[in-house]
Structure 1
C-alpha cells in the first residue's frame, strides 16, 4: 500500500511538472508551425528595418518567407487579399492613396519611426548661394534652368521617383500645380542608380536637384546645411489638402527657411498587417506594437550599405545583439500575448 501511494505521488508530481513545462515551451515559441509571408519595399533604405523585424519574428518561432520585394500597389493589394501577411514599409500619410485598397482587410499596427520621415527637394548649397535659389519657383528663371541642365535638353534635371512609388504621385502633382513641366525634367529611373549619378555629378562640380526622404543614405553622402540645402515649394499643394498644415515643418536642418515649406508632410513609417493573420497571431501584433528602430541607426546602416557593405541580414543581426536587453523586452511582451 505504501509503495502504491508513493508511486501515485511520483506520477502526480511528474504530471504536474509536465503540465507546467509544456505551456512554457509554447509561450517561448508561439509561432512554431506558422509561416509568415513578409514583403519589403523596392527602396533599399528600408531593407535594414525589414530584416530586423524578420529576425525578431523568427525568434518567436515563426518561419518567415521573404521578405519579397514589392512595389506599393501590389503589396497593398496582396496584403488585403491575404496573399501577403505584412510589411514594415508603410509611409503614412504618403500612402493614404492606398487606404481604399486595404482598409477593412489589413491595418496599421505600431510604428518603426514616428514623424521622422521627411521628404522634399534639395540642391547643392553652392548653387543656392550663387543663384539665390530658395524655391522650386526659381527653376522658372532661365539662368537657373540652364545651370541644372545636365543632359543638354534645355530643362533642369531632377532625380525624382520611379513609377509606382507613393512619392511619384506627389512629385507629378507638384509639376502640374506649380506649372514646371516646361522647366524641369523628372528622372524616374532606378532611384539608387540615379542618385549615385547625381552624387558623381556633384563631386565633379556640377549642380544637382533631387528629391529625397529620410532616413536615406543620400543625406549622409550629401549633408543638408553643408553640401546641400532643402528648398521650399511656392505654396503647399497636395493631392490631399487635408495634410497641408503638416507640409510646413519647423527645425528642418539645412533648409533655406525655418519653418520649412517642404511641400510634403512628415511621415510615420509603420507596419501594415493582414487583419485575419493578426487575429490568429497576437504575438506578432504585440511585437509590432513594441518595436521602434532609431532613425540614427538606420542612417548609419544606409551609409554603410552605400559604401558597399550590403549584407543587410548580418547588419540586422548585429543590431539586434547590440540592443539585446531592449529586444528581449519586446519579445517578452510579444510572448505574453500568447
Structure 2
C-alpha cells in the first residue's frame, strides 16, 4: 500500500492541529506505507499501552514526510526504519535516534525470477538480462524488453535499483514497473500462475515469498558485483549474503546489504520517556513471526482490526517474552 506525498503532508498537518487541542502528551506513532511492517508497529503500540501510555493510532507516511514528522515532533517514533537503506535520510536530522532492533540483520532485498524459466535458460544473474533473448522472455507489454516489478516512487529502494540498472548497463533491457507494489505483485503472481515468466524485486519479511517460495517457485538473482549508490557506498563488499535459499551460490551476491529494521524516535520524546527508551532497547520480533503474519494479510486478513488482532494473538502466544520486555522497561523508571 502506498500513499502520495500530498496525502502524507495533510496527515502531518492534522497531527500539528491535534497537538494544539491538548493531545501533545499522547504518543503519536508513525509508520511507513508498506504494510508488511504494520504488525510490528501494533506489537510495539501494545507494549507502550501495557506500560500505561496513551498511544494514538499510527499515522501512515511516506519516507520523506515520515522523517520530517519525526524531526518536528509531529510523530514521536517509528519502528519500520531500514538501515542502511535509510542512512542518508536519517543523517539529515540531528534530533532523531535509533534505539534497539526490531529485526536484526534479517531484512533482505533483491531480485527474483520464476524457477522454471531460470532453470530452462540458465538464468542466475541480473546481468543475464543484457542478452536480448533473455530479456524478451520477460516482456509483459509487447515491447520486447523485460518488465520488472520494482519500487513505487518515493521508496528508497528505488535509488539502489536505478543504480544497478545503470551500473550494469541494463537500461535498454529492463523496464521498471513502479506502480503501487501490492497490485503490481498480484498481477505478476497471476502471470506466474498462468505459466508466464516473471521478474521482480522484493524484500523480507514480506507476503510475496509466502506466495512464491524461493527454490520452489522462484530463485534469487545475483548481481555481477557489489555496487551501491553514493549514500550507501560504504557497504559495498558487504552485499554477499550467506545461506540464501534459492540462490545459485553461497554466499549470494544480492546487490543489497542485509538491513536491520530499527526503531527511530525523536530525541526529546525518548529523553522524556526512559521506559520507552528501554523498551525499544530490549524488544525484538522474530522474522518468521512477521512473515507468517504477512501471509495472513495476503489471504484477506488485512483490515486494521485484523492487524491489531494478529498482534494481540502473537503477544498471547509469547506472553512470557512480552512480560519480560515490560518489566525491563518499568525498571528504567526506578533508576
Q: Kindly indicate whether residue 268 of structure 2 is the aligned counterpart of residue 276 of structure 1.
A: yes
- Find the structure with the greater CA-based Rg: 1
Counterpart of 1:72 in structure 2 is: 63
Residue 51 of structure 1 and its aligned partner are, at CA, apart by 0.6
Match among 27, 32, 57 for residue 48 of structure 2: 57
Equivalent-residue separation in structure 1 for 2:159 and 2:132 (angstroms) = 26
Equivalent-residue separation in structure 2 for 1:329 and 1:187 (angstroms) = 44
Residue 99 of structure 1 and its aligned partner are, at CA, apart by 2.3
Which consecutive residues of structure 1, in runs of 5 or more, have no partner in the other structure?
1-32
Q: Kindly indicate whether residue 313 of structure 2 is the aligned counterpart of residue 324 of structure 1.
A: no
Residue 100 of structure 1 and its aligned partner are, at CA, apart by 2.4
Match among 286, 289, 308 for residue 294 of structure 1: 286
Counterpart of 1:246 in structure 2 is: 238
Match among 295, 308, 320 for residue 313 of structure 1: 308
2:257 counterpart SS class: coil
Counterpart of 1:179 in structure 2 is: 169
TM-score, normalised to structure 1's length?
0.88
Equivalent-residue separation in structure 1 for 2:283 and 2:91 (angstroms) = 26
Residue 294 of structure 1 and its aligned partner are, at CA, apart by 0.5
Structural mapping, 1:1-338, within 5 Å: 34-102=25-93, 104-239=94-229, 240-310=232-302, 311-338=306-333
Equivalent-residue separation in structure 2 for 1:143 and 1:67 (angstroms) = 47
Equivalent-residue separation in structure 2 for 1:49 and 1:122 (angstroms) = 25
Residue 34 of structure 1 and its aligned partner are, at CA, apart by 3.8
CA contact (8 A) 1:34 1:62 kept: no
CA contact (8 A) 2:31 2:59 kept: yes
Equivalent-residue separation in structure 1 for 2:92 and 2:56 (angstroms) = 23
Residue 233 of structure 1 and its aligned partner are, at CA, apart by 0.7
Q: Deviations over 1:226-254 (max 9, x none)?
A: 11000111111101221012101111111
Equivalent-residue separation in structure 2 for 1:257 and 1:180 (angstroms) = 22
Equivalent-residue separation in structure 2 for 1:231 and 1:261 (angstroms) = 8
Residue 182 of structure 1 and its aligned partner are, at CA, apart by 0.8
Residue 130 of structure 1 and its aligned partner are, at CA, apart by 1.1
Residue 114 of structure 1 and its aligned partner are, at CA, apart by 0.5
CA contact (8 A) 1:80 1:101 kept: no
Residue 177 of structure 1 and its aligned partner are, at CA, apart by 1.0
TM-score, normalised to structure 2's length?
0.89
CA contact (8 A) 1:77 1:101 kept: no
Residue 58 of structure 1 and its aligned partner are, at CA, apart by 1.0
Equivalent-residue separation in structure 1 for 2:47 and 2:141 (angstroms) = 46
Residue 64 of structure 1 and its aligned partner are, at CA, apart by 1.3
Residue 143 of structure 1 and its aligned partner are, at CA, apart by 1.3
CA contact (8 A) 2:90 2:96 kept: no
Equivalent-residue separation in structure 2 for 1:122 and 1:312 (angstroms) = 28
2:58 counterpart SS class: strand
1:66 counterpart SS class: coil
Which consecutive residues of structure 2, in runs of 5 or more, have no partner in the other structure?
1-23
Residue 325 of structure 1 and its aligned partner are, at CA, apart by 1.1
Equivalent-residue separation in structure 2 for 1:292 and 1:324 (angstroms) = 14
1:189 counterpart SS class: coil
Q: Report the count of equivalent residues.
A: 305
2:55 counterpart SS class: strand
